[in-house]
Amino acid sequence: MADIKIENLVKIYPGSSELANDNVSMHIADGEFMVLLGPSGCGKTTLLRQIAGLELPTSGAIAIGGRDVTYLPAHKRNLSMVFQSYAVFPHRRVRHNIGFGLAIRKRPRQEIEEKVAWAAELLQLTDYLDRFPAQLSGGQRQRVAVARAIVVDADVLLMDEPLSNLDALLRLSFRSELKRIVEQIGTTTVYVTHDQSEALSLGDQVAVMRKGRITQLGNPLDVYDWPADTFVGGFIGSPPMNFFDGSISGGHLTIGGNQISAPVGLDHLGAVRLGVRAEAIRVADPGTPDCLEGEVLVAEPLGASTLLTVMLGGHQLKVQAKPTIRTRSGDKILLAIDPEAIRVFDPESGVSLLGATRA
Protein backbone atom coordinates (compact mmCIF):
# COMPACT_ATOMS: atom_id res chain seq x y z
CA MET A 1 0.00 0.00 0.00
CA ALA A 2 1.20 3.45 -0.82
CA ASP A 3 0.16 6.97 -1.65
CA ILE A 4 0.30 8.39 -5.17
CA LYS A 5 1.70 11.80 -5.97
CA ILE A 6 1.22 13.31 -9.41
CA GLU A 7 2.96 16.56 -10.29
CA ASN A 8 2.39 18.77 -13.35
CA LEU A 9 1.71 15.79 -15.57
CA VAL A 10 1.47 16.56 -19.29
CA LYS A 11 0.71 13.98 -21.95
CA ILE A 12 0.70 14.63 -25.67
CA TYR A 13 0.14 11.59 -27.88
CA PRO A 14 2.55 11.26 -30.79
CA GLY A 15 1.13 12.79 -33.96
CA SER A 16 -1.31 14.93 -31.99
CA SER A 17 -0.98 18.53 -30.95
CA GLU A 18 -3.67 18.37 -28.27
CA LEU A 19 -2.83 17.89 -24.63
CA ALA A 20 -4.41 14.64 -23.44
CA ASN A 21 -3.38 15.63 -19.92
CA ASP A 22 -2.76 19.29 -19.25
CA ASN A 23 -0.68 19.97 -16.14
CA VAL A 24 -2.44 17.54 -13.83
CA SER A 25 -1.40 17.44 -10.18
CA MET A 26 -2.99 15.49 -7.37
CA HIS A 27 -2.21 13.57 -4.24
CA ILE A 28 -3.98 10.33 -3.43
CA ALA A 29 -3.50 9.36 0.19
CA ASP A 30 -2.61 5.84 1.28
CA GLY A 31 -5.75 3.69 1.25
CA GLU A 32 -7.86 6.33 -0.42
CA PHE A 33 -10.40 5.56 -3.15
CA MET A 34 -9.97 8.17 -5.88
CA VAL A 35 -12.44 8.37 -8.75
CA LEU A 36 -11.48 10.07 -12.01
CA LEU A 37 -14.74 11.22 -13.56
CA GLY A 38 -15.40 12.90 -16.86
CA PRO A 39 -16.92 12.59 -20.32
CA SER A 40 -15.14 10.49 -22.95
CA GLY A 41 -11.97 12.13 -24.24
CA CYS A 42 -11.38 14.12 -21.03
CA GLY A 43 -8.06 12.40 -20.34
CA LYS A 44 -9.10 10.28 -17.36
CA THR A 45 -8.07 6.95 -18.92
CA THR A 46 -4.83 8.52 -20.20
CA LEU A 47 -4.04 9.58 -16.63
CA LEU A 48 -4.76 6.09 -15.32
CA ARG A 49 -2.61 4.47 -18.01
CA GLN A 50 0.29 6.72 -17.06
CA ILE A 51 -0.04 5.68 -13.43
CA ALA A 52 -0.07 2.09 -14.70
CA GLY A 53 3.00 2.59 -16.87
CA LEU A 54 1.18 1.68 -20.07
CA GLU A 55 1.70 5.21 -21.40
CA LEU A 56 4.68 7.42 -20.69
CA PRO A 57 4.17 11.08 -19.73
CA THR A 58 5.48 13.87 -21.94
CA SER A 59 6.55 15.77 -18.82
CA GLY A 60 5.80 15.83 -15.12
CA ALA A 61 6.27 13.24 -12.43
CA ILE A 62 4.47 10.33 -10.78
CA ALA A 63 5.56 8.82 -7.47
CA ILE A 64 4.02 5.80 -5.79
CA GLY A 65 4.85 5.37 -2.11
CA GLY A 66 7.58 7.97 -2.36
CA ARG A 67 9.32 6.15 -5.25
CA ASP A 68 9.58 7.89 -8.60
CA VAL A 69 7.87 5.67 -11.20
CA THR A 70 7.38 8.23 -13.98
CA TYR A 71 9.24 6.23 -16.62
CA LEU A 72 9.36 2.85 -14.89
CA PRO A 73 8.00 -0.10 -16.93
CA ALA A 74 4.60 -1.40 -15.84
CA HIS A 75 5.85 -4.73 -14.51
CA LYS A 76 8.20 -3.05 -12.03
CA ARG A 77 5.50 -0.90 -10.40
CA ASN A 78 3.79 -3.57 -8.27
CA LEU A 79 0.29 -2.67 -9.40
CA SER A 80 -2.86 -4.51 -10.17
CA MET A 81 -5.60 -3.49 -12.50
CA VAL A 82 -9.15 -4.31 -13.55
CA PHE A 83 -9.81 -3.63 -17.22
CA GLN A 84 -12.99 -2.44 -18.87
CA SER A 85 -12.88 -5.43 -21.23
CA TYR A 86 -12.07 -7.74 -18.26
CA ALA A 87 -8.89 -8.87 -20.09
CA VAL A 88 -9.00 -12.31 -18.51
CA PHE A 89 -6.68 -14.80 -20.19
CA PRO A 90 -8.87 -17.00 -22.44
CA HIS A 91 -6.34 -19.85 -22.49
CA ARG A 92 -6.12 -20.24 -18.72
CA ARG A 93 -8.60 -21.73 -16.32
CA VAL A 94 -10.23 -19.40 -13.78
CA ARG A 95 -7.91 -20.77 -11.08
CA HIS A 96 -4.81 -19.85 -13.06
CA ASN A 97 -6.23 -16.53 -14.13
CA ILE A 98 -6.74 -15.51 -10.51
CA GLY A 99 -3.33 -16.81 -9.47
CA PHE A 100 -1.51 -15.28 -12.46
CA GLY A 101 0.06 -12.33 -10.62
CA LEU A 102 1.19 -14.55 -7.75
CA ALA A 103 2.66 -17.14 -10.10
CA ILE A 104 4.65 -14.44 -11.91
CA ARG A 105 5.88 -13.18 -8.54
CA LYS A 106 7.02 -16.78 -7.88
CA ARG A 107 5.10 -17.17 -4.64
CA PRO A 108 5.02 -20.59 -2.97
CA ARG A 109 2.39 -22.90 -4.37
CA GLN A 110 0.51 -23.22 -1.10
CA GLU A 111 0.20 -19.46 -0.69
CA ILE A 112 -1.16 -19.17 -4.24
CA GLU A 113 -3.76 -21.86 -3.58
CA GLU A 114 -4.86 -20.26 -0.33
CA LYS A 115 -5.19 -16.79 -1.81
CA VAL A 116 -7.01 -18.03 -4.90
CA ALA A 117 -9.44 -19.91 -2.67
CA TRP A 118 -9.95 -16.78 -0.54
CA ALA A 119 -10.61 -14.55 -3.56
CA ALA A 120 -12.86 -17.12 -5.19
CA GLU A 121 -14.88 -17.34 -2.00
CA LEU A 122 -15.14 -13.55 -1.75
CA LEU A 123 -16.36 -13.23 -5.35
CA GLN A 124 -18.49 -16.40 -5.44
CA LEU A 125 -16.31 -18.12 -8.01
CA THR A 126 -15.51 -21.27 -6.04
CA ASP A 127 -17.65 -23.48 -8.29
CA TYR A 128 -16.07 -22.10 -11.45
CA LEU A 129 -12.37 -22.43 -10.66
CA ASP A 130 -11.74 -25.15 -13.21
CA ARG A 131 -13.63 -23.54 -16.07
CA PHE A 132 -12.24 -21.58 -18.95
CA PRO A 133 -13.36 -17.93 -19.27
CA ALA A 134 -15.28 -18.79 -22.45
CA GLN A 135 -17.59 -20.90 -20.29
CA LEU A 136 -18.48 -17.96 -18.01
CA SER A 137 -20.97 -15.12 -18.29
CA GLY A 138 -19.82 -11.51 -18.62
CA GLY A 139 -20.51 -10.83 -14.95
CA GLN A 140 -18.51 -13.88 -13.87
CA ARG A 141 -15.60 -12.90 -16.11
CA GLN A 142 -15.55 -9.50 -14.44
CA ARG A 143 -15.48 -11.24 -11.06
CA VAL A 144 -12.47 -13.22 -12.24
CA ALA A 145 -10.77 -9.98 -13.28
CA VAL A 146 -11.45 -8.46 -9.85
CA ALA A 147 -10.29 -11.61 -8.05
CA ARG A 148 -7.08 -11.59 -10.11
CA ALA A 149 -6.51 -7.96 -9.11
CA ILE A 150 -7.07 -8.37 -5.36
CA VAL A 151 -4.97 -11.50 -4.70
CA VAL A 152 -1.70 -9.75 -5.45
CA ASP A 153 -0.34 -7.63 -2.65
CA ALA A 154 -0.17 -4.55 -4.87
CA ASP A 155 0.67 -1.00 -3.84
CA VAL A 156 -2.11 0.44 -5.97
CA LEU A 157 -5.29 -0.99 -7.47
CA LEU A 158 -6.33 0.58 -10.77
CA MET A 159 -9.79 0.18 -12.27
CA ASP A 160 -10.71 1.32 -15.76
CA GLU A 161 -14.51 1.50 -16.04
CA PRO A 162 -14.86 -2.00 -14.59
CA LEU A 163 -18.66 -1.92 -14.51
CA SER A 164 -19.45 -0.38 -17.86
CA ASN A 165 -19.75 -3.66 -19.76
CA LEU A 166 -22.25 -5.14 -17.31
CA ASP A 167 -26.00 -4.79 -17.70
CA ALA A 168 -27.78 -2.22 -15.51
CA LEU A 169 -29.03 -4.58 -12.81
CA LEU A 170 -25.72 -6.41 -12.41
CA ARG A 171 -23.85 -3.11 -12.39
CA LEU A 172 -25.82 -1.87 -9.40
CA SER A 173 -25.36 -5.03 -7.34
CA PHE A 174 -21.67 -5.41 -8.25
CA ARG A 175 -21.02 -1.76 -7.41
CA SER A 176 -21.86 -2.23 -3.75
CA GLU A 177 -19.94 -5.50 -3.70
CA LEU A 178 -16.91 -3.79 -5.18
CA LYS A 179 -17.07 -1.07 -2.55
CA ARG A 180 -17.22 -3.66 0.22
CA ILE A 181 -14.24 -5.61 -1.20
CA VAL A 182 -12.06 -2.56 -1.73
CA GLU A 183 -12.85 -1.31 1.79
CA GLN A 184 -11.92 -4.73 3.13
CA ILE A 185 -8.52 -4.95 1.42
CA GLY A 186 -7.80 -1.24 1.98
CA THR A 187 -5.55 -0.75 -1.05
CA THR A 188 -5.10 2.71 -2.55
CA THR A 189 -7.45 2.70 -5.52
CA VAL A 190 -7.78 4.80 -8.65
CA TYR A 191 -11.06 4.25 -10.44
CA VAL A 192 -11.95 5.69 -13.84
CA THR A 193 -15.57 6.15 -14.87
CA HIS A 194 -17.82 8.34 -16.96
CA ASP A 195 -20.79 7.40 -14.77
CA GLN A 196 -21.42 10.11 -12.18
CA SER A 197 -23.48 7.81 -9.95
CA GLU A 198 -20.53 5.38 -9.68
CA ALA A 199 -18.26 8.28 -8.81
CA LEU A 200 -20.57 9.56 -6.08
CA SER A 201 -21.27 6.15 -4.59
CA LEU A 202 -17.73 4.72 -4.59
CA GLY A 203 -15.22 7.52 -4.13
CA ASP A 204 -13.58 8.96 -1.07
CA GLN A 205 -12.46 11.66 -3.46
CA VAL A 206 -13.71 12.57 -6.92
CA ALA A 207 -11.63 14.35 -9.55
CA VAL A 208 -13.88 15.73 -12.27
CA MET A 209 -11.89 16.06 -15.48
CA ARG A 210 -12.50 17.99 -18.66
CA LYS A 211 -10.25 18.58 -21.66
CA GLY A 212 -7.25 17.01 -19.94
CA ARG A 213 -7.52 19.14 -16.80
CA ILE A 214 -8.95 18.56 -13.36
CA THR A 215 -11.93 20.87 -13.02
CA GLN A 216 -12.75 20.01 -9.44
CA LEU A 217 -11.35 17.67 -6.83
CA GLY A 218 -13.12 16.99 -3.59
CA ASN A 219 -15.24 14.54 -1.68
CA PRO A 220 -18.29 13.39 -3.64
CA LEU A 221 -20.98 15.24 -1.70
CA ASP A 222 -19.06 18.53 -1.82
CA VAL A 223 -18.64 18.17 -5.55
CA TYR A 224 -22.33 17.40 -5.87
CA ASP A 225 -23.45 20.27 -3.63
CA TRP A 226 -20.90 22.91 -4.55
CA PRO A 227 -19.89 22.42 -8.19
CA ALA A 228 -16.92 24.58 -9.11
CA ASP A 229 -18.50 25.52 -12.41
CA THR A 230 -21.56 24.89 -14.55
CA PHE A 231 -19.82 21.96 -16.32
CA VAL A 232 -19.42 20.00 -13.08
CA GLY A 233 -22.98 20.86 -12.01
CA GLY A 234 -24.31 19.70 -15.35
CA PHE A 235 -22.22 16.53 -15.42
CA ILE A 236 -22.87 15.30 -11.90
CA GLY A 237 -26.34 14.38 -10.74
CA SER A 238 -29.26 12.75 -12.43
CA PRO A 239 -31.08 14.80 -13.54
CA PRO A 240 -28.27 17.34 -13.96
CA MET A 241 -28.36 20.68 -12.14
CA ASN A 242 -30.85 23.22 -13.55
CA PHE A 243 -29.29 26.36 -14.94
CA PHE A 244 -31.09 29.59 -15.75
CA ASP A 245 -30.31 33.29 -16.07
CA GLY A 246 -31.18 35.78 -13.40
CA SER A 247 -29.95 38.96 -11.84
CA ILE A 248 -29.11 40.08 -8.36
CA SER A 249 -29.87 43.46 -6.86
CA GLY A 250 -30.34 44.56 -3.27
CA GLY A 251 -30.65 41.12 -1.71
CA HIS A 252 -33.13 39.95 -4.32
CA LEU A 253 -32.88 37.50 -7.13
CA THR A 254 -34.86 38.25 -10.23
CA ILE A 255 -35.80 35.28 -12.33
CA GLY A 256 -38.06 35.71 -15.31
CA GLY A 257 -40.05 38.56 -13.75
CA ASN A 258 -40.31 36.92 -10.31
CA GLN A 259 -38.35 38.04 -7.27
CA ILE A 260 -37.11 35.89 -4.41
CA SER A 261 -34.53 36.43 -1.67
CA ALA A 262 -30.92 36.02 -2.75
CA PRO A 263 -28.44 33.59 -1.15
CA VAL A 264 -26.62 35.21 1.76
CA GLY A 265 -23.02 36.32 1.58
CA LEU A 266 -23.06 37.28 -2.04
CA ASP A 267 -21.73 40.68 -2.99
CA HIS A 268 -22.00 40.22 -6.73
CA LEU A 269 -24.44 42.44 -8.55
CA GLY A 270 -25.97 42.21 -11.97
CA ALA A 271 -26.55 39.34 -14.36
CA VAL A 272 -25.67 35.85 -13.09
CA ARG A 273 -26.23 32.23 -14.03
CA LEU A 274 -28.10 30.28 -11.39
CA GLY A 275 -27.98 26.59 -10.64
CA VAL A 276 -30.45 24.58 -8.60
CA ARG A 277 -30.71 20.82 -8.08
CA ALA A 278 -34.03 19.22 -9.05
CA GLU A 279 -34.59 18.00 -5.48
CA ALA A 280 -34.10 21.52 -4.06
CA ILE A 281 -37.18 22.81 -5.89
CA ARG A 282 -40.46 22.20 -4.14
CA VAL A 283 -43.97 22.35 -5.62
CA ALA A 284 -45.79 24.85 -3.38
CA ASP A 285 -49.45 25.24 -2.52
CA PRO A 286 -51.31 28.10 -4.24
CA GLY A 287 -50.91 31.37 -2.41
CA THR A 288 -47.50 30.64 -0.88
CA PRO A 289 -45.34 33.82 -0.97
CA ASP A 290 -41.85 34.06 -2.48
CA CYS A 291 -42.60 31.52 -5.23
CA LEU A 292 -42.12 31.25 -8.99
CA GLU A 293 -44.88 30.32 -11.37
CA GLY A 294 -44.20 27.83 -14.13
CA GLU A 295 -46.01 25.63 -16.59
CA VAL A 296 -45.68 21.84 -16.56
CA LEU A 297 -44.38 20.43 -19.86
CA VAL A 298 -43.92 16.78 -18.92
CA ALA A 299 -44.62 14.73 -15.81
CA GLU A 300 -42.69 11.45 -15.49
CA PRO A 301 -43.67 9.21 -12.57
CA LEU A 302 -40.53 7.30 -11.49
CA GLY A 303 -41.99 5.43 -8.55
CA ALA A 304 -40.05 6.99 -5.69
CA SER A 305 -40.65 10.46 -7.08
CA THR A 306 -42.16 12.21 -10.04
CA LEU A 307 -39.88 14.14 -12.36
CA LEU A 308 -41.46 17.30 -13.75
CA THR A 309 -40.16 19.34 -16.62
CA VAL A 310 -41.37 22.87 -16.01
CA MET A 311 -41.19 25.93 -18.25
CA LEU A 312 -40.13 28.97 -16.24
CA GLY A 313 -39.18 32.31 -17.73
CA GLY A 314 -38.03 30.76 -20.99
CA HIS A 315 -35.99 28.00 -19.31
CA GLN A 316 -36.78 24.33 -18.83
CA LEU A 317 -36.38 23.20 -15.24
CA LYS A 318 -36.29 19.66 -13.89
CA VAL A 319 -38.19 19.38 -10.64
CA GLN A 320 -38.23 16.32 -8.42
CA ALA A 321 -41.74 16.28 -6.97
CA LYS A 322 -43.47 13.92 -4.56
CA PRO A 323 -44.79 10.75 -6.20
CA THR A 324 -48.28 11.63 -5.02
CA ILE A 325 -48.46 14.79 -7.14
CA ARG A 326 -51.21 14.84 -9.72
CA THR A 327 -50.39 17.20 -12.53
CA ARG A 328 -50.53 17.17 -16.28
CA SER A 329 -48.92 18.89 -19.16
CA GLY A 330 -50.13 22.50 -19.38
CA ASP A 331 -50.91 22.89 -15.67
CA LYS A 332 -49.66 26.00 -13.91
CA ILE A 333 -47.78 25.27 -10.69
CA LEU A 334 -45.95 27.29 -8.04
CA LEU A 335 -42.30 26.44 -7.34
CA ALA A 336 -40.50 27.27 -4.09
CA ILE A 337 -36.71 27.31 -4.22
CA ASP A 338 -34.71 27.09 -1.02
CA PRO A 339 -32.35 30.13 -1.21
CA GLU A 340 -29.66 28.06 0.53
CA ALA A 341 -29.70 25.61 -2.39
CA ILE A 342 -29.16 28.20 -5.09
CA ARG A 343 -25.68 28.22 -6.61
CA VAL A 344 -24.50 31.31 -8.45
CA PHE A 345 -22.14 31.22 -11.41
CA ASP A 346 -20.48 33.79 -13.61
CA PRO A 347 -22.65 34.06 -16.77
CA GLU A 348 -19.58 34.23 -19.04
CA SER A 349 -17.08 31.71 -17.64
CA GLY A 350 -19.50 29.48 -15.73
CA VAL A 351 -17.23 29.56 -12.67
CA SER A 352 -18.90 29.49 -9.27
CA LEU A 353 -19.15 32.88 -7.52
CA LEU A 354 -19.67 31.27 -4.12
CA GLY A 355 -16.28 29.56 -3.95
CA ALA A 356 -15.71 25.99 -5.02
CA THR A 357 -16.62 24.36 -1.73
CA ARG A 358 -17.81 25.40 1.65
CA ALA A 359 -16.19 23.94 4.68
Partner 1 sequence: MSATITVDTGPLARFKRRRALLQLAAVSISLFMAVPIYLIAVAAFSTRDGLNQFPQPLWPKNFGTQTMETFLSSTGIVAGTINSLIVGVSTLIVSFLVGAPAGYALARFTFRGKDAYQLALLFTRALPIVVLSVPLARAFLATGLYDTPLAVTLLHTALSLPTTILITSSVFLGVSADVEEAARIFGCTPAGAFLRVVLPLALPGIAASSIFTFVTSWNEVLGATILTFSQRTLPAQVLTSLADSPLAYRFAGGLVLVIPSLIFIALMRKYLLNMWGTTIR
Interface residue with partner 1 among 9, 20, 24, 52 (CB under 8 A) is 52
User: Min. distance of Cβ 316 from partner 1 in angstroms?
Assistant: 41
Residue 34 or 292 with smaller CB distance to partner 1: 34
The answer to whether 350 and 280 have CB atoms below 8 angstroms apart is: no
Does residue 202 belong to the site contacting partner 1 (CB under 8 A)?
Answer: no
Any contact of residue 344 with partner 1 (CB under 8 A)?
no
- Using CB under 8 A, which of 74, 117, 172, 351 touches partner 1? 74
The residue (of 133 and 237) whose beta carbon lies closer to partner 1 is 133
Is 328 a binder of partner 1 (CB under 8 A)? no
- Considering only CA atoms, which of 80, 19, 7 is closest in space to residue 46? 19
Q: What is each CA distance from 344 to 186, 232, 244, 356, in whole angstroms?
A: 38, 13, 10, 11
Residue 325 lies near partner 1 (rule: CB under 8 A): no
By the rule CB under 8 A, 107 interacts with partner 1: no
* Among positions 67, 105, 180, 322, the unique one binding partner 1 when judged by CB under 8 A: 105
100 vs 231 by CB, closer to partner 1: 100
Is the CB of 192 or the CB of 262 nearer to partner 1? 192
> x-or-dash pattern for partner 1, window 3-42, by CB under 8 A?
------------x---------------------------
* Closest alpha carbon to 49 in 38, 36, 39, 66: 36
83 binds partner 1 (CB under 8 A): yes
The span from the CA of 355 to the CA of 67, in Å, is: 35
Query: How far is residue 47's CA from residue 45's CA, in Å, rounded to a whole number?
Result: 5
Residue 138 touching partner 1 (CB under 8 A): no
**Residue 56 binds to partner 1 (criterion: CB under 8 A):** no
79 binds partner 1 (CB under 8 A): yes
Q: Which residues of this chain interact with partner 1, rule CB under 8 A? A: 15, 52-54, 73-75, 79-81, 83-85, 87-91, 100-101, 104-105, 132, 134-135, 148, 152, 158
